[in-house]
Chains A and B, each alone.
Chain A
């Protein structure tokens, strides 16, 4: 809803009161979702440029040059509010929207990811939401024929009442086929195509820019309905239009509908637009101009077409049997003019509509300082039970129940399926890219800046463990109400953390999205989500390099622990399971150690010295080791429990979540060269374990029964969902 100040401001600029249609247009474009009015002011903290950045933040997808005339495109977005109300359609249209973002840049869509957050699945409502969200994504993504390559799921009570659905789409395009989201030339036609317009998703973006209340269920008319078949036709049709160079500009109709789409085309082209709503193909009768101009009906695109190319465009649209119409044209007057059968219904300056909002004041509150003490910690009596409990934590257990519902192989480019540290796709000219996404919302809750930077570091390790060098970042920043100072402070601190990371590692942020107001109000009490800056990263492999997986693959090799282990159990999964909550200062972001470890591991990979490799992440060393055994034919026997660093006891060494650590399986003959590389990069390393021909997990003082470990790991999530 527009605030009083915003209406006053618009009235002053226009010299008159906006009419109802104009108010609806301003309402959607000035919503937090479309305008980034609370968040944009901090984006200067991000590293957004780089020599390989072909197109940075600002349009549908970021484009990065991966060499030899190939650009990879990424877009990332949230669809949280719709998914809470209607999980199936909300999640499905989230996928639909992100695909549109990528193809509207001229890309072929080649991969999808999704990152989800729910309350604990032992509660039926949460399990139901997860099940329906997964089905929505699966039905939609599978139908359109884009493989799922990765993602993440995390559970915490804070997401009860406000689940998170973040989606990523990956594309590929050659520079001469890139289409820009701008309407540069007055006189060009505006052609809508893909689907008809209805009353679904009216003002969905305004709905997404408010806190949930008890009557959330009444908001169903704000939810869009997806149609994957129509989307598949749009994908194919668009590929043809792009191939024949027929469109001068292109934007998808997503949040904010025609208003946002045409408004942004005009804003970036420095032009104006005129649209006659009577020409828009409708699927419902008696729609008002206001409804048509803000409807968020799915599967629609708006193309800017030069007069001489119009005939061929229409020919292709007819041939593909997709609903379409010429609905208006680009003008030179700098106005967004809405007509109905020639009568003016709305007329707003583009400069007012797009970005012309009065910048709201936001207060950054102070956040509690977290103590480093670990006086809650007691050395466990039974390590075996603790390790089994961690493997069975819903935040660690296998996600196979979920990802087996996603088509991972369509398009025949999938080199590594979901379930490894990262998914790997093959691009043209045999280029291979790895994709991972991560956010530890318990770390970010305790310290948003450290936690965000460290979540990014963990994402990086997922790529590096497989042998890929990170090349780009996309993000989706999910936070609470920015009008509350403490909530706003969490957001700003997280942006600082991600900005810091992007500069430290010199990795450009090329895409992203901000979702605020992720709170629910239940019986008068506000429940805010953990700060969730979801970080997605892509990495590239050297030509001819086969991605290294995490399962042990030879007997009689050494398993090295790379990096120091510190007393960092605050914010860890171990602490969360012990105390039922997290507290204290989370594992620290250590850019120097992280960078050294990265370079050392990548160099060792380049020399083909590592047989299998795992990142040490959630659950610490114990879980990382167990994951290397699960699914392997082999096992390990621990050589030492004296690891580099300051972990005081065996339990602390096993469960600490210190960053900048990897486990690497190295055969005896490669050991010398491996250690030389580690030394050259100043990376502490220890010969932690020996691989053995038996399928065992022998920690020296105790043994973890592997069959029980596998059972816990495989069934601890699915048991709530069968």
Chain B
């Protein structure tokens, strides 16, 4: 493989992104994953060879206006949209999820947490029974991962919600240890305990929890690795 500069997975770094190295490190433990950091200033041209894109968490452009809003207007997002339209997998984590809703690749919006405070804690997630490219093999499972965000309160219109539920486009919901999606365990007030949303084509997913922070047992859980492994596999299809 040496010398071949084929970029498989592009991990995008906006100014203020701060989870890019964590994602790279987690991908590095997955056999066959070839990932490269792409600074957003390189623009959409830098994504031409990519088989898939991850937009990691952080505070792009400081999130001084509205979480993800400035990044979503960046030129590099044109390249992300093109890849998405070609059916390539796109995963937005935390701030990446916010950017994907801001740029219209995913429905809905991420509002400030109902507590009006940043929240960092471990959560349990109930995986939906419908298979998606990102959750294959995890159907109905309960996963443990951390969340860390100020704006993770997923909101969408009644119409959108009906479509999401009808078409099985909610791969992850906040739940208790036993997989019950009760309101009490919702860390941010999201509608229907939604933690992740996928598009109708099934290749663009946004999630608030951090799979890369649950990628080694010593960190408290390795459950997130399965999602990243699925992502890697889908870049090879």
Q: Are B62 and A145 in contact (CB under 8 A)?
A: no
- A232 / chain B contacts, CB cutoff of 8 Å: 15-16, 18, 59
How far is the CB of A304 from the nearest CB of chain B, in Å?
A: 26
Q: Are A426 and B146 in contact (CB under 8 A)?
A: no
The segment out of A186-194, A402-410, A512-520 that lies at the interface is: A402-410
Q: Does A554 contact B (CB under 8 A)?
A: no
Q: Are B210 and A409 in contact (CB under 8 A)?
A: yes
- B64 / chain A contacts, CB cutoff of 8 Å: 229
Q: Does A373 contact B (CB under 8 A)?
A: no
Q: Dominant SS at the B interface?
A: mixed
Q: Does B218 contact A (CB under 8 A)?
A: yes
Q: Does B85 contact A (CB under 8 A)?
A: no
Q: How far is the CA of A145 from the CA of B21 in the complex (A)?
A: 11
Residues of chain B in range 197-218 having any CB-CB distance to chain A below 8 Å: 210, 212-213, 215-216, 218
Residues of chain B in range 107-155 having any CB-CB distance to chain A below 8 Å: 117-122, 146, 148, 150
From known contacts A143-B16, A404-B119, infer whether A409 and B148 are also in contact, taking CB-CB under 8 Å.
Answer: yes
Q: How far is the CA of A407 from the CA of B22 in the complex (A)?
A: 14
> 1/0 per position for B162-197, CB-CB distance to A under 8 A?
000000000000000000000000000000000000
Residues of A in contact with B, size category: 20 to 34
The one of A229, A403, A426 in contact with B218, judged by C-beta atoms closer than 8 angstroms, is A426
Q: How far is the CA of A83 from the CA of B215 in the complex (A)?
A: 37
Q: How far is the CA of A33 from the CA of B225 in the complex (A)?
A: 48
Q: Are A404 and B219 in contact (CB under 8 A)?
A: no
Q: How far is the CA of A407 from the CA of B220 in the complex (A)?
A: 15
Q: How far is the CA of A409 from the CA of B216 in the complex (A)?
A: 12
- A341 / chain B contacts, CB cutoff of 8 Å: none
From known contacts A233-B15, A405-B120, infer whether A142 and B148 are also in contact, taking CB-CB under 8 Å.
Answer: yes
- B236 / chain A contacts, CB cutoff of 8 Å: none
- B218 / chain A contacts, CB cutoff of 8 Å: 415, 426, 546
- A410 / chain B contacts, CB cutoff of 8 Å: 18-19, 22, 148, 213
Chain B interface residue count, Cβ-Cβ cutoff 8 angstroms: 32
Q: Are B62 and A404 in contact (CB under 8 A)?
A: no
Q: Does B25 contact A (CB under 8 A)?
A: yes
Q: Does B96 contact A (CB under 8 A)?
A: no
- A411 / chain B contacts, CB cutoff of 8 Å: 21-22
- B121 / chain A contacts, CB cutoff of 8 Å: 404
Q: Are A142 and B19 in contact (CB under 8 A)?
A: no
Q: How far is the CA of A404 from the CA of B122 in the complex (A)?
A: 10
Residue with the highest number of chain A CB atoms closer than 10 Å, among B25, B118, B210, B220: B118
- A142 / chain B contacts, CB cutoff of 8 Å: 59, 118, 120, 148, 150
Q: Are B58 and A409 in contact (CB under 8 A)?
A: no
How far is the CB of B189 from the nearest CB of chain A, in Å?
A: 15
From known contacts A145-B18, A405-B119, infer whether A412 and B62 are also in contact, taking CB-CB under 8 Å.
Answer: no
Q: Which residue of B lies closest to A227 (CB)?
A: B62
The one of B58, B59, B118, B215 in contact with A412, judged by C-beta atoms closer than 8 angstroms, is B215
Q: Does A251 contact B (CB under 8 A)?
A: no
- B26 / chain A contacts, CB cutoff of 8 Å: 412
From known contacts A412-B22, A412-B26, infer whether A229 and B15 are also in contact, taking CB-CB under 8 Å.
Answer: yes
- B61 / chain A contacts, CB cutoff of 8 Å: 229
Q: Which residue of A lies closest to B16 (CB)?
A: A229
- B63 / chain A contacts, CB cutoff of 8 Å: 143
Q: Which residue of B lies closest to A233 (CB)?
A: B15
Q: Does A539 contact B (CB under 8 A)?
A: no
Q: Are B62 and A405 in contact (CB under 8 A)?
A: no
Q: Are A228 and B59 in contact (CB under 8 A)?
A: yes
Q: Which residue of B lies closest to A134 (CB)?
A: B117
The one of A227, A233, A407 in contact with B120, judged by C-beta atoms closer than 8 angstroms, is A407
> 1/0 per position for A409-446, CB-CB distance to B under 8 A?
11110110100000000100000000000000000000
How far is the CB of A547 from the nearest CB of chain B, in Å?
A: 10
> 1/0 per position for B85-105, CB-CB distance to A under 8 A?
000000000000000000000
Q: Does A463 contact B (CB under 8 A)?
A: no
From known contacts A142-B59, A142-B118, infer whether A409 and B15 are also in contact, taking CB-CB under 8 Å.
Answer: no
Q: Which residue of A lies closest to B147 (CB)?
A: A409
Q: How far is the CA of A403 from the CA of B121 in the complex (A)?
A: 9
Q: Which residue of B lies closest to A418 (CB)?
A: B120
Q: Are B118 and A229 in contact (CB under 8 A)?
A: no
Q: Are B25 and A138 in contact (CB under 8 A)?
A: no
Q: Are B219 and A415 in contact (CB under 8 A)?
A: yes
A residues adjacent to B (C-beta < 8 A): 135, 138-139, 142-145, 227-229, 232-233, 321, 403-412, 414-415, 417, 426, 546
Closest 5 CB pairs of A and B: A145-B18, A229-B62, A412-B22, A143-B59, A409-B213
Task: Taking A411-B21, A414-B219 as given, write out 14 further A-B residue pairs in contact, using a Cβ cutoff of 8 Å, ordered by the A residue number.
Answer: A135-B117, A142-B148, A229-B64, A406-B118, A406-B120, A408-B146, A409-B120, A409-B148, A409-B210, A409-B219, A412-B26, A412-B215, A417-B122, A546-B218
A-B contact pairs, 5 of them (CB 8 A): A228-B16, A232-B16, A405-B120, A408-B148, A410-B19
